[in-house]
Amino acid sequence: MSEPKRRVTAESMAASQRDISVSEFFAKNRHLLGFDNPRKALLTTVKEAVDNSLDACEEAGILPEIWVKINETGVNRYKVSIQDNGPGILKKQIPLIFGKLLYGSKFHRMRMSRGQQGIGISAAGMYGVLTTGKPVRIVSQVSPRNTHFYEIRINTKKNIPEILNGEGDGLVVPAGREERAVFLAEHQIPWVETGTGTRVAIELEAKYQRGRGSVDEYLEETAIANPHVRLHYQGPEDETERMYERSTDRLPPEPKEIKPHPYGVELGRLADMMRHSSDQSLKSFFENHFSRVSGAICKTVCEKANVSVRTWPSKLHREEIERIFRALQETKIPNPSTDCLSPIGEDLLLKGLHQVVPGEFYTAATRPPAVYRGNPFQVEVALAYGGAPVTQSVSLSLLQELLEETDARTLRQFLMNTFAGIGTDGADKIIKASRLSTRLSPAKLITTPNDIKALYQAMKNVNISEGQSMSIYRYANRVPLQFQTSACAMTQTVMNMNWRNYGLQQSRGSLPRGPITVIVHLASVWVPFTSESKEAIASYPEIQTEIRLALQAVGRKLGMFLKRRQRVKEQADRRGQFMRYLGEIATAIHRITQEDRDKILEHLMEVARMRTQAADMQFDESGRPILPREEEDYGENVLIVEKSPLERMIVRNQESSQESQQIAGEKVAEAV
């Protein structure tokens, strides 16, 4: 047999090999950055621009004010415009920030920030150019006399920016009022006059849809975690601008930059740092490049590694570096400083949650700072219980629009995917009450207005609180995480907890049921995302432990509230039993003693109220009991709304039962 003929040679293979730029890689793998479908692409674009604006304003010490506007420019085409009142961007930096991937100032800094890799906004501009061919339009104002306008697209072959206006150098916006107005009108720039700021506009192929995972939901959640921001928002279907007003005028404390901790450095990274170090001793090397390594700790490490403290790091051999690395892991080194973090705070979490989520009981808890892989982090949790389901706050016109926008195949999928917290049981209850088929397509439902009205009435009237599942708001460095919920360490920790201990219903391996909303916030100098799209947190044991402890803290307070409410209900039922027979008892005593029946009934009712006084418990707005004999104490960071709907219903039932028993007693007395 003849040998098979070679198709290629080593020389021909070498000739076809070339460098791949990072822009070219992500252009082909844009799903890694969150641009895997048109709806998600719109959200990712808004998210990256808003996050950058918030970071810039906070770093400059400016109370952030952000304008977000989305215009529909064609079929599945939208123009996203975001402007802020931040410090602006220098002229030479504008092309690099918006036209080059992996260019930024946050990757090497050990401090809490929203952005990390320097990919987000430039990737959004790249996606816009790929899908519409239109460049990114940027206006940056460092001062009223220093304003520049750029049109930029990214060269994916070389990962460099291409400036399309001003003969490759951009345009200067005139400073004079009249000339400025003419320039902005000529270039169709709806600039909001602020002292300084940046405006970016990206036209892209996208899909706008309200409900879960939408731009609207992202901005609402951003307002919760950033109560110091004022947001102006106008969607493609909004006639007027909506505004999320800030609830505090206090900026969060500025996080400080720290040095890496020895526990978070791998062997290869340590060897590379030593090889390129110019320090003349190991003592100065550790003090200059690491945090929490004092002279005494350095001496202990060197003794364990059998290396002199005075040795030049660049002259160490591989075996010596490996011994030093092992000695670092075996030596007790204090945790890094936590002033590099800027948590939201329990008070502001409660305010933000109460402003957005209706409920009866609110509580929050913040864990002490902890460390994973040498990186400081802190976990915050807030919880809201009760309130009307989200389905009861939807108008008929909004329901019709949501039905037109959805891509769900069945009515059950539409209810579960559009409204947060509605599980299968809740969706089935609504569909059963509306007398519609569970497999009915929303597209067919649009053609029958009577069926839409039936669904609307069922959503308004059906009580789905018992079948409602917990809603989880996930945050990382104040940024909402809206996708890959099941793959996130936060969701997994919530599901693995035993919520039955705190009075909630829960099936094994699932979220608890009930009208309950939980916020979990992770603040860290380096958030361990599972992918470049920054949608889920990796399952580090240290992080999951802190989340579980914070959830247990708020769960205990929730359990106290639910037990107290159950006791109120039981005492109210007991009082109702008393009231049912007090009229007859008063009449019988009157016949025996000839005493005034009304006085006897009044005394008996007073005794019944004393024996069932738990039914009359009242609490102030901070959750403190008003009655001095009440023994419950929820502690700090608890907010209880005036009276729950259940308590008001119990009171009404008590009064009606009491009145009916009085009337029945009087009729019995008259008959006797």
Task: With beta carbons less than 8 A apart as the criterion, state whether 366 and 338 touch.
Answer: no
pLDDT digit string (tens) for 338-392?
Answer: 788 888 888 888 887 887 777 888 999 999 888 888 788 999 999 988 766 666 6
Least Cα distance to 286 among 298, 276, 275 occurs for 298
What pLDDT is attached to residue 562? 83
Q: What angle do CA 470, 472, 474 make, to 5 degrees?
A: 170
**397 Cβ contact list (under 8 Å, min separation 6):** none
What pLDDT is attached to residue 543? 92
Percent residues over pLDDT 90 in the chain? 22
Kindly state the average pLDDT of the residues 156-169.
89
Going 543 to 514 to 383 to 552, the CA torsion angle's sign is: negative
**DSSP character string of 312-329:** -GGG--HHHHHHHHHHHH
What pLDDT is attached to residue 67? 95
Kindly state the average pLDDT of the residues 654-670.
41
Least Cα distance to 257 among 333, 337, 334 occurs for 337
CA 472 to chain centroid: 8
**Element housing 432 (H / E):** helix 424-434
Question: Residue 446 above 80 pLDDT?
Answer: no
Q: 65 pLDDT band (50/70/90 cuts)?
A: very high
3 state DSSP class of 528: coil
What pLDDT is attached to residue 645? 43
pTM for the predicted model, two decimal places:
0.74
In the chain, the N- to C-terminal Cα span, in Å, equals 121
Question: Residue 197 above 90 pLDDT?
Answer: yes
Q: What angle do CA 445, 451, 454 make, to 5 degrees?
A: 135
Euclidean distance between CA atoms 379 and 309, whole angstroms: 38
Which range among 502-511, 529-538, 615-624 shows the weakest confidence by mean pLDDT?
615-624
Q: 644 pLDDT band (50/70/90 cuts)?
A: very low
Percent residues over pLDDT 70 in the chain? 83
Which range among 91-105, 201-215, 229-243, 620-634 shows the weakest confidence by mean pLDDT?
620-634
Task: With beta carbons less than 8 A apart as the criterion, state whether 152 and 98 touch.
Answer: yes
Question: Residue 185 above 50 pLDDT?
Answer: yes
Euclidean distance between CA atoms 218 and 583, whole angstroms: 58
3 state DSSP class of 19: coil
Residue 99 dihedral angles phi and psi, to the nearest 5°:
-130, 20
pLDDT digit string (tens) for 75-102?
Answer: 889 999 999 999 999 999 899 889 888 7
Q: What is the mean pLDDT of the chain?
A: 81
* Pairing assessment for the beta strands 516-524 and 471-476 based on DSSP bridges: parallel
Kindly state the average pLDDT of the residues 228-241.
89
Residue 640 dihedral angles phi and psi, to the nearest 5°:
-120, 125
Kindly state the average pLDDT of the residues 524-529.
88
pLDDT digit string (tens) for 593-613?
Answer: 877 887 877 777 777 666 655
Task: With beta carbons less than 8 A apart as the criterion, state whether 34 and 28 touch.
Answer: no
Euclidean distance between CA atoms 207 and 75, whole angstroms: 9
Which range among 59-63, 181-185, 421-425, 493-497 shows the weakest confidence by mean pLDDT?
421-425
Q: 578 pLDDT band (50/70/90 cuts)?
A: low
Question: Residue 643 above 70 pLDDT?
Answer: no
Q: Which letter does DSSP use for residue 393 in this model?
A: G
Question: Residue 507 above 70 pLDDT?
Answer: yes
Kindly state the average pLDDT of the residues 12-34.
78
Euclidean distance between CA atoms 93 and 583, whole angstroms: 85
Kindly state the average pLDDT of the residues 180-192.
91
Least Cα distance to 300 among 320, 330, 260 occurs for 330
Token pair belonging to 427: 């969706």
Token pair belonging to 456: 């609307």
pLDDT digit string (tens) for 111-155?
Answer: 788 876 668 788 888 989 999 989 999 999 999 889 999 999 998
